[in-house]
Amino acid sequence: MTKPLSIILCSEEHEKIQMAAMTATIAAVSEREVSVFVSMGAIFSFCIESPNGHRFSGGTFSKLMLEKNAPDALDLLKQGREFGKLSLYVCSMALDITGIDEAALIPNLFDEVIGLTKFLADSEDSQLTVF
Amino acid sequence: MTKRTKIDARGAHCPGPLMELIAGLRLVEKGDEIEILSNDKGSLKDIPIWVQKAGHALGSIEELQEYYSIVVEKVKT
């Protein structure tokens, strides 16, 4: 059996969020169990209304992806959940620090609010990647 | 009788064509085929490897003018 994949997503850069979403989704639809832990600045991209005023921060490649209608990172994660075994968790510390309410997050995307200790304990037998 | 559905994913960027194929396969019956059209060069390798991992069957791959046609048979429900 293929090793599960655990992803810690903490960057608010569009390029990293996109790559994390692509990696998570493709692995999930390829018969691999995937868990994503969203923390730090990445949380802003998962709010219904981003406190930054824009969903993604990014550089030249981000602009190109938006111009050329590359698949949206959050839509990809939704597809990964629908078509594969993809779980998303939001970091309790990130909610505390930012003051973001769980209800302000995009609905039906996250499975649970958890801490890093629980995520790491659940990921002991997984391949762990940080974006 | 085998039914074939065509999905035109030309213009979609990676992993768009693969995701459209996966969504399409959920809508057809076991034994039916999906023909996916893509101009993403990565689809040539990505789709066959996914088909193998997911337990479906690859029908054909054709390189046409500026795009590819890949036929996949739904084997698993």
- ipTM for the predicted complex comes to 0.83
pLDDT for position A55: 85
* Residues from A in contact with B at Cβ < 8 Å: 22, 25-26, 29-31, 65, 68-71, 76, 79, 83
Q: Is B50 a residue of the active site?
A: no
Number of domains in chain B: 1
Across-strand partners of B36?
Answer: B7, B70
Place of tokens 């909610």: A95
For residue A33, the domain's CATH number is 3.40.1260.10
Q: Which domain holds residue A86?
A: 5-130
Question: How many folded domains does chain A comprise?
Answer: 1
When the pLDDT of each residue in chain B is averaged and rounded to a whole number, the result is 96
Q: Residue A115 corresponds to which amino acid? A: G
CATH of the domain at B60: 3.30.110.40
What is the residue range of B26's domain?
4-73
Phi–psi pair at B29, nearest 5 degrees: -85, 160
Q: Is B47 exposed, middle or buried (0-12, 13-18, 19+ CB in 10 A)?
A: buried
Q: Do B18 and A71 touch (CB under 8 A)?
A: no
pLDDT band with cut points at 50, 70 and 90 for residue B25: very high
Kindly report, residue by residue over A64-89, the tens digit of the pLDDT: 999 999 999 999 999 999 999 999 99
Which member of A25, A26, A70 has the closest CB to residue B13? A70
Percent of chain A past pLDDT 90, that is, above it, reads 92
Inspect the interface and report whether the beta carbons of A29 and B19 lie closer than 8 Å: yes
Question: Which stretch of DSSP H or E encloses residue A80?
Answer: helix A73-83
